Every structure is written in C-alpha cells, then in structure tokens.
Structure 1
Amino acid sequence: MSACQTEIIYQNDDFVFTRCIDCCRMGLMFKQAMISFDELNFDAFRRYLERMDFEIEKYPFFDGLDRVVIETYHPDVQFTLLEEEFYRLKANVIEAHAQLQLIELIRKM
C-alpha cells in the first residue's frame, strides 16, 4: 500500500481505516498493527469480528490475563487482544464499514 493514494474512511483514537483511491485496497491500522484487505476480505473480517464474543472466545494467557485471539489471512499471524481492546477494535471495524457504505451511497448519487 505504500504507493497508494489513500483516503481516510474512518479514524478514531488509535484506529485508522483507509482505502486507496486507485486500487481500492483497504488498510486497517489498530495501535501498532496494520492489515490490508481487498473489499471482499475486509467484509469477511468484519463479519468474523461481529460473530465473536469475548466471553466465549477468550483464553487465559501465561501472564494470567484473558485475551481473545484474532485470526488473520496469514496462518502465521494472529493478534491477541484484551477485552477492552477487542471491543474497541470490533466497534471501530463496524463503524468503518458503515462509513464505507455511506461514502459509496453518496458517490452513487
């Protein structure tokens, strides 16, 4: 995505969601992590997060804290999030999707 001309679709605290004007590749940055998606995979990731519930998915980690493991599209890369982090990411992804839909609706007018 380094050569892309990105537009910020949604930004909130430590979350930024962008899309390239030319190739439509999407970038999700949460804290220090960044994931890029095509439209289909972003929508699948959003649906995956929407189905997840921290209480059901949590695992106790070696430090005694419960975390949820977020799978990515690369088998060797996962994210582990504390409860507050998980729900912030989930809410931000849902809001970014809503903003993306709103932008698309406006552009079609």
Structure 2
Amino acid sequence: MHNQDRTVLTQNGDIIIEQCSCCDNIVFIYRNILLKFTPEVFQDFTTSFRKLNFERRSYVFEDGSEKMLVNTPQKEIQLCFTKGEFKQLCQALQEATLMLEVHEILCP
C-alpha cells in the first residue's frame, strides 16, 4: 500500500480504515493492530463483527474490566475489546461500508 494511493474511508480516534486505489485492498488500523482485507473479505468481516453481542461474549478480567474476546483464524490470536471500543469499531466499520457503497455507486 502506497501513501499517495489510498482513500480514507473512515477515521475515528485510534481507528483508520483506508482503501488502496492501486489494488483495492482495505487496511484496518486500530492502535497497534493492522489488518489487510480484499473488499469481499472486508465485507464478510464487517458483517460477522457487527453480529457479535458484547454482553454474551464478554468476560470480567482479573483487573475488574469487562472485555469481549473475538477469535481470529489464527487460533493463538484473539482480539479483545471493551464495550466502548466495540461500539466505536462497529460504528467505524459501518461508516467504511457506507463509503464503499457510495464509491461503488459513483465510480462503477
């Protein structure tokens, strides 16, 4: 991904979701996590992520904080979010999806 060839789909706090204009890949950056998707896989990820229920998947950790664990295809790696972080991520994913839909309509 090249700096000059990307479109920011959404940026909210620590979250940036961009699309590379040369390869259409979507990069999701959250703090020190960077995930790269094809547009199709990004849509699947967004749909799956937004179906998660924080209350059903959250655990109280030793420090007293409540966090939700999200499995990844790599069984040794799980993502962990507080309720606020989860809501912020869902909002960012929705915004990015809407921007992709707008881009598809305007630039078929």
TM-score range normalised by the length of the shorter chain? 0.7 to 0.9
CA distance in structure 1 between the partners assigned to 2:11 and 2:78 by the alignment: 23
Matched, 1:48 2:48: yes
Alignment-derived partner of residue 34 in structure 1: 34
Residue ranges of structure 2 left out of the alignment (5+ in a row): none
Cα distance, 1:2 vs. partner?
5.8
Cα distance, 1:93 vs. partner?
0.6
Cα distance, 1:87 vs. partner?
0.8
CA distance in structure 2 between the partners assigned to 1:48 and 1:12 by the alignment: 20
2:61 maps to amino acid: F
CA distance in structure 1 between the partners assigned to 2:77 and 2:43 by the alignment: 19
Does the residue aligned with 2:107 lie in a helix, a strand or coil? helix
CA distance in structure 2 between the partners assigned to 1:94 and 1:54 by the alignment: 17
Contact 2:9 2:95 in 1 (8 A): no
CA distance in structure 2 between the partners assigned to 1:91 and 1:83 by the alignment: 12
2:27 maps to amino acid: G
Cα distance, 1:70 vs. partner?
2.0
TM-score (norm 1): 0.86
**Deviation string, structure 1 residues 61-91 (Cα, Å, up to 9, x no partner):** 2222111012334333221111101111111
CA RMSD of aligned residues (A): 1.9
Residue ranges of structure 1 left out of the alignment (5+ in a row): none
Q: Relative to 1, partners in 2 of residues 1:35 and 1:105: Cα closer, same or farther, differing over 3 Å?
A: same
Alignment-derived partner of residue 68 in structure 1: 68
1:107 maps to amino acid: C
Give runs of aligned pairs for residues 1-109 of structure 1, distance below 5 A: 1=1, 5-108=5-108
Does the residue aligned with 2:18 lie in a helix, a strand or coil? strand
Identity of aligned residues (%): 22
